[in-house]
Chains A and B, each alone.
Chain A
Amino acid sequence: MAKPNALILGGYGINCEEETAYAFEKFGAKSDIVHINDLIDGLKKFEDYQILAIPGGFSYGDDTGAGKAFANRVANNLLEEILKFVQQDKLAIGICNGFQVVTALGLAPALDEKYGERQSGLMANENNRYTCRWVHMKTESKKCVWTKGVKKLFVPIAHGEGNFYMPEKELKQLQKQDQVVFRYIREDGAPANGEYPYNPNGAILDIAGICDGSGRVLGLMPHPERHLFFHNRPDFTLQKEKYLRENKPLPEEGEGGQIFKNAVEYFA
Chain B
Amino acid sequence: MSAFRLEVRNTIKDSRAATRLSRLKADGYKVKAVVTADIYTVNKAFKAEEKERIGKMLTNPIFESYAVDKLTPPKDFDYAIETGYLPGVTDNVGHTARESIEDLLDVEFKVPEENVHSSHITYLKGDLSREQVYRIAESFVNPLIQRINIKSKEEFEKDGGMDLVIPKVTIKEKPQADEVNLEISDGELEKLGKLGILDKDGSRRGPLALRLSYLHVIRDYFRREGRKPKDVEIESIAQTWSEHCKHTIFRDPIDEIEDGIYKHYIKAATNKIRKDKGDKDFCVSVFTDNSGGIEFDKDFIITDKAETHNSPSALDPFGGAITGIVGVNRDTLGFGIGAKPIINRYGYCFGNPQDETPLYRQKGMKNPTLLPRQIMDGVVAGVNAGGNQSGIPAPQGWAYFEDRYRGKPLVFVGTIGLLPKEINGKPSWKKAARAGDKIVNIGGYVGLDGVHGATFSSEALNTGSPVTAVQIGDPITQKKLSDAIVKEARDLGLYNSITDNGAGGISCSVAEMARECGGCEVELEKVKTKYANLSPWEIWISESQERMTLSVPESKLDQFMDLMERRGVEAYVIGTFTDSGRCKVTYHGEMVMDLEMNFLHEGLPTEQQRSTYTKPKNEEPHFACPENLNDVMQKMLARNNLCSYEYISIQYDHEVQAGSCIKPLHGKGRVNGPATVTAPLLGQRRGIVASQGINPRYSDIDTYHMAACAIDTAIRNAVSVGGNVDHMAMMDNFCWCSSNEAERLGQLKEAARACYEVTIAMGTPFISGKDSMFNDFSGFDEKGDPIKISVPPTLLVSSISVVPDVNHCQTMDLKVHGDLIYVIGETKDELGGSEYFYMHEAIGNSVPTVDTVMALDRYRRFYQAAQLDLMSATASVSLGGLGITLVKMAIGGKLGMEMDLRDVPSDGVKRDDFLLFSESQSRFVVTVDPKKQAEFEKMMPDAKLVGNVRADQRVLMTGLSGEFVLDITTDKLEKAYKETFKDY
Bound complex: CA A12 to CA B103 (Å):
14
The residue that B679 contacts in the complex, of A69, A231, A237, with Cβ under 8 A, is A231
The residue that A156 contacts in the complex, of B16, B60, B651, B655, with Cβ under 8 A, is B655
From residue B874, how far is it (CB to closest CB) to chain A in Å? 9
Residues of A within 8 A of B685 (CB): 231
- Interface assignment of A90: CB less than 8 Å from any CB of chain B: no
From residue A175, how far is it (CB to closest CB) to chain B in Å? 17
Residues of B within 8 A of A60 (CB): 96, 99, 476
Stretch at the interface among B309-317, B600-608, B803-811: B803-811
| Listed residue (A22, A121, A237) with the most chain B CB atoms within 10 angstroms of its CB | A237
Bound complex: CA A231 to CA B811 (Å):
12
The A interface is mostly helix, strand or loop, or mixed, namely: mixed
A63:B96 contact, CB within 8 angstroms: yes
- The residue of chain A having its C-beta at the shortest distance from the C-beta of B340 within the complex is A18
Residues of B within 8 A of A57 (CB): 391
Bound complex: CA A158 to CA B663 (Å):
14
- The residue of chain A having its C-beta at the shortest distance from the C-beta of B872 within the complex is A241
Which residues of chain A in 89-140 are interfacial with respect to chain B, using CB atoms and an 8 Å cutoff?
103-104, 118-121, 123-133
| Listed residue (B60, B809, B813) with the most chain A CB atoms within 10 angstroms of its CB | B60
A129:B567 contact, CB within 8 angstroms: no
- Interface assignment of B264: CB less than 8 Å from any CB of chain A: no
Residues of A within 8 A of B388 (CB): 58, 130, 158
Stretch at the interface among B7-15, B432-440, B575-583: B7-15
Bound complex: CA A64 to CA B54 (Å):
12
Bound complex: CA A165 to CA B15 (Å):
13
Residues of B within 8 A of A15 (CB): 390-391, 479, 656
Given contacts A35-B566, A77-B103, A129-B651, contact A236 B95 (CB under 8 A): no
Bound complex: CA A237 to CA B602 (Å):
53
- Interface assignment of A68: CB less than 8 Å from any CB of chain B: yes
Given contacts A64-B58, A128-B16, contact A38 B683 (CB under 8 A): no
- Interface assignment of B750: CB less than 8 Å from any CB of chain A: no
| Listed residue (A56, A126, A133) with the most chain B CB atoms within 10 angstroms of its CB | A133
Residues of A within 8 A of B45 (CB): none
The residue that A123 contacts in the complex, of B13, B95, B665, B929, with Cβ under 8 A, is B13
A68:B869 contact, CB within 8 angstroms: no
Bound complex: CA A229 to CA B679 (Å):
10
Given contacts A130-B388, A132-B653, A163-B13, contact A238 B667 (CB under 8 A): yes
Contact with A along B563-585 (1 / 0, CB 8 A): 00011100000000000000000
A130:B384 contact, CB within 8 angstroms: yes
A19:B15 contact, CB within 8 angstroms: no
- Interface assignment of A191: CB less than 8 Å from any CB of chain B: no
The residue that B97 contacts in the complex, of A13, A64, A127, A250, with Cβ under 8 A, is A64
Residues of A within 8 A of B15 (CB): 123-128, 163, 202
- Interface assignment of B18: CB less than 8 Å from any CB of chain A: yes
B13:A158 contact, CB within 8 angstroms: no
| Listed residue (A26, A62, A238) with the most chain B CB atoms within 10 angstroms of its CB | A238
A61:B816 contact, CB within 8 angstroms: no
Contact with A along B369-397 (1 / 0, CB 8 A): 00000000000000011001111000000
Residues of B within 8 A of A38 (CB): 566
- Interface assignment of A149: CB less than 8 Å from any CB of chain B: no
Bound complex: CA A5 to CA B679 (Å):
27
Bound complex: CA A77 to CA B57 (Å):
14
Which residues of chain B in 914-970 are interfacial with respect to chain A, using CB atoms and an 8 Å cutoff?
929, 931
Contact with A along B653-670 (1 / 0, CB 8 A): 111111011110101100
B815:A237 contact, CB within 8 angstroms: yes
Given contacts A61-B475, A226-B660, A228-B682, contact A13 B654 (CB under 8 A): no
Residues of B within 8 A of A165 (CB): 12-13, 62-63
- Interface assignment of B104: CB less than 8 Å from any CB of chain A: yes
- The residue of chain B having its C-beta at the shortest distance from the C-beta of A254 within the complex is B658
Residues of B within 8 A of A119 (CB): 62
B103:A72 contact, CB within 8 angstroms: yes
- The residue of chain B having its C-beta at the shortest distance from the C-beta of A56 within the complex is B656
From residue A166, how far is it (CB to closest CB) to chain B in Å? 7
The residue that A231 contacts in the complex, of B12, B479, B667, B807, with Cβ under 8 A, is B807
Residues of B within 8 A of A18 (CB): 657, 682
B566:A41 contact, CB within 8 angstroms: yes
Q: What is the total number of residues of chain A having a CB less than 8 Å from a CB of chain B?
A: 72
- Interface assignment of B100: CB less than 8 Å from any CB of chain A: yes
- The residue of chain A having its C-beta at the shortest distance from the C-beta of B395 within the complex is A132
- Interface assignment of A232: CB less than 8 Å from any CB of chain B: yes
From residue A97, how far is it (CB to closest CB) to chain B in Å? 10
Contact with A along B675-695 (1 / 0, CB 8 A): 000010011010000000000
Bound complex: CA A53 to CA B58 (Å):
24
- The residue of chain A having its C-beta at the shortest distance from the C-beta of B478 within the complex is A13
- The residue of chain B having its C-beta at the shortest distance from the C-beta of A35 within the complex is B567
Bound complex: CA A211 to CA B124 (Å):
40
Which residues of chain A in 2-29 are interfacial with respect to chain B, using CB atoms and an 8 Å cutoff?
10-13, 15-16, 18-19, 22, 26
Bound complex: CA A69 to CA B104 (Å):
11
A76:B104 contact, CB within 8 angstroms: yes
B103:A226 contact, CB within 8 angstroms: no
- Interface assignment of B257: CB less than 8 Å from any CB of chain A: no
- Interface assignment of B757: CB less than 8 Å from any CB of chain A: no
- Interface assignment of B19: CB less than 8 Å from any CB of chain A: yes
The residue that A132 contacts in the complex, of B61, B100, B391, B654, with Cβ under 8 A, is B654
- The residue of chain A having its C-beta at the shortest distance from the C-beta of B666 within the complex is A237
The residue that A124 contacts in the complex, of B16, B667, B815, with Cβ under 8 A, is B16
Residues of B within 8 A of A172 (CB): none
- Interface assignment of B483: CB less than 8 Å from any CB of chain A: yes
From residue A177, how far is it (CB to closest CB) to chain B in Å? 18
- Interface assignment of B625: CB less than 8 Å from any CB of chain A: no
From residue B740, how far is it (CB to closest CB) to chain A in Å? 41
- The residue of chain B having its C-beta at the shortest distance from the C-beta of A158 within the complex is B653
Residues of B within 8 A of A186 (CB): none
Contact with B along A201-216 (1 / 0, CB 8 A): 0100000000000000
From residue A221, how far is it (CB to closest CB) to chain B in Å? 13
Bound complex: CA A10 to CA B568 (Å):
12
- Interface assignment of B652: CB less than 8 Å from any CB of chain A: yes
B100:A158 contact, CB within 8 angstroms: no
B93:A225 contact, CB within 8 angstroms: no
Residues of A within 8 A of B929 (CB): 241, 244-245
Residues of A within 8 A of B806 (CB): 231
Residues of B within 8 A of A22 (CB): 658, 682-683
Which residues of chain B in 457-506 are interfacial with respect to chain A, using CB atoms and an 8 Å cutoff?
474-476, 479-480, 483, 487
Bound complex: CA A158 to CA B654 (Å):
9
Residues of B within 8 A of A12 (CB): 476, 480, 568
Given contacts A64-B100, A73-B100, A73-B103, contact A123 B10 (CB under 8 A): yes
The residue that A232 contacts in the complex, of B16, B104, B660, with Cβ under 8 A, is B660
From residue A29, how far is it (CB to closest CB) to chain B in Å? 15
- The residue of chain A having its C-beta at the shortest distance from the C-beta of B808 within the complex is A240
- Interface assignment of B650: CB less than 8 Å from any CB of chain A: yes
Which residues of chain B in 856-874 are interfacial with respect to chain A, using CB atoms and an 8 Å cutoff?
869, 872-873
Bound complex: CA A158 to CA B657 (Å):
12
Given A228-B658, A232-B661, A237-B811, 15 more contacts at CB 8 Å? A26-B683, A56-B656, A61-B92, A63-B476, A64-B93, A72-B57, A104-B60, A123-B12, A124-B15, A130-B653, A133-B650, A158-B653, A237-B810, A237-B815, A237-B873
20 sampled A-B residue pairs with Cβ under 8 A = A12-B476, A16-B658, A19-B657, A41-B566, A58-B479, A61-B92, A68-B60, A69-B97, A72-B100, A126-B13, A131-B651, A202-B13, A202-B15, A226-B655, A226-B658, A231-B807, A237-B811, A238-B667, A244-B929, A245-B931
Taking Cβ atoms with an 8 Å cutoff, the residues of A that contact B are 10-13, 15-16, 18-19, 22, 26, 33, 35, 37-38, 41, 56-58, 60-65, 68-69, 72-73, 76-77, 103-104, 118-121, 123-133, 156, 158, 163, 165-167, 202, 223, 225-226, 228-232, 234-238, 240-241, 244-245, 250
Instruction: State the 7 A-B residue pairs at the shortest beta-carbon distance, nearest first.
Output: A15-B391, A121-B62, A63-B96, A19-B658, A128-B19, A158-B653, A58-B389
